[in-house]
């Protein structure tokens, strides 16, 4: 059963969720943003307001267009306020139990024809979908950070995802102005399956070749034309986020290159997580 997507719910208004909600209101969609506290909903709205205001400053939007976009955003702490959404995108903490609990609650709340999507970057969409009574209406929609800027969305189907649901999610990503790619529910999907072991190799080279993080970054930027070096990229992603994703891939496939290098584990333990803490491979 196909769905016309007119009203979207976004659960979790942190960096990723706020970016996804921003994309939705920019695309003219009524959007309901849900967080666990009023303070967090307001913080999410402030994030969206900030980036839309930058669009006004740069001449990409008018003040009236910005205000119209913000008017399409409704904030709530109550999951039941998502009941009339045609699509609900989950963007909460990257923990399987938390996502499964949320999807079970959404399953009891939204209409039977609604689509449920997870923004997970590393967890099994199949396992998340299994928490519902309608896994055929669950799909992965992995946006990349920052969501309003990066074009890619990995649209992930499980063995049970209905074809019409998958096609609707893919078309929705295109409606947001994104460049979606289709993939099956496999560990790491496409980007992380390639990128995480590659970044881990770059970190291991620091100790094995006796070079500095700057030298590794220079090697990849000027030797292979990467726009950003691997160490700077991990600092941008967050050491904690990278290690978590790396551990998830290691658990799933047991390939040695997937396991986080000891250097990254030590950085995580020390709290030097990159840009978010002001110190990672580099100082900020």
**pLDDT tens digits along 16-60:** 999 999 999 999 999 999 999 999 999 999 999 999 999 999 999
Q: Which of 121, 124, 200, 246 is catalytic?
A: 121
Q: Residue 154 catalytic? A: yes
Angle of helix 38-57 relative to helix 15-26, nearest 10 degrees, comes to: 60
Confidence at residue 1, expressed as pLDDT on a 0 to 100 scale: 54
- pLDDT, tens digit (0-9, with 9 covering 90-100), for 132-171: 999 999 999 999 989 999 999 999 999 999 999 999 999 9
Provide the pLDDT for residue 32. Answer: 98
Q: Which residues contact 268 (CB under 8 A, 6 or more apart)?
A: 239, 240, 243, 260
pTM value > 0.85:
yes
Cβ neighbour number for residue 7 with a 10 Å cutoff: 19
pLDDT score of 2: 59
Q: Catalytic: which of 35, 90, 119, 142?
A: 142
DSSP E strands in 95-134: the ranges are 115-118
Could you tell me which residue, 25 or 3, shows the higher pLDDT? Answer: 25
Distance CA 25, CA 46 (A): 14
CA–CA separation, 184 and 154 (whole Å): 10
Domains and CATH numbers, the chain: 7-184 (3.40.50.720), 192-270 (1.10.1040.50)
Tell me, what's the pLDDT at 145?
87
Q: Please say if 283 is a catalytic residue.
A: no
Contacts of 100 (CB under 8 A, 6+ apart): 127, 128, 130, 131
* 35 annotated active-site: no
Tell me which residue of 120, 72, 73 sits closest to 249, measured CA to CA.
120
Q: Choosing from 90, 119, 124, 192, which is the catalytic residue? A: 192
Percent pLDDT > 90 in the chain is 97
Q: If 0-12 CB within 10 Å is exposed, 13-18 middle and 19+ buried, where does residue 90 land?
A: buried
Residue 192 known to be catalytic: yes
> Cα–Cα distance between 145 and 195 in angstroms, integer?
14
């Amino acid at each position: 059963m196909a769905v016309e997507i007119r009203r979207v719910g976004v659960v979790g208004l942190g960096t990723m969720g706020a970016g996804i909600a921003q994309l939705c209101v920019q695309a003219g969609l009524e959007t309901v943003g849900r967080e666990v506290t009023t303070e967090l909903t307001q913080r999410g709205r402030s994030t969206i307001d900030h980036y839309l205001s930058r669009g006004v400053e740069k001449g990409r939007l008018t003040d009236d267009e910005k205000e119209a976009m913000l008017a399409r955003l409704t904030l709530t702490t109550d999951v039941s306020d998502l009941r009339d959404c045609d699509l609900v995108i989950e963007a909460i903490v990257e923990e399987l139990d938390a996502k499964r609990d949320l999807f079970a609650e959404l399953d009891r709340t939204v209409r039977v024809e609604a689509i449920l999507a997870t923004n997970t970057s590393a967890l099994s969409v199949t396992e998340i979908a299994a928490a519902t009574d309608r896994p055929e209406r669950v799909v992965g929609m992995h946006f990349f950070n920052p969501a309003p800027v990066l074009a890619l969305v990995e649209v992930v189907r499980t063995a049970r995802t209905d074809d019409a649901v998958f096609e609707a999610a893919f078309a929705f990503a295109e409606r947001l102005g994104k460049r979606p790619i289709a993939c099956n529910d496999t560990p790491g999907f496409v980007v992380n399956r390639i990128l995480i072991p590659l970044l881990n190799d770059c970190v291991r080279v620091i100790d094995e070749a006796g070079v500095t993080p700057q030298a590794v970054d220079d090697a990849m930027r000027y030797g292979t034309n990467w726009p950003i070096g691997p160490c700077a990229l991990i600092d941008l992603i967050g050491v904690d986020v990278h290690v978590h994703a790396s551990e998830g891939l290691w658990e799933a496939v047991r390939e040695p290159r997937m396991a986080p290098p000891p250097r990254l584990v030590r950085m995580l333990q020390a709290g030097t997580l990159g840009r978010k803490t002001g110190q990672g491979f580099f100082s900020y």
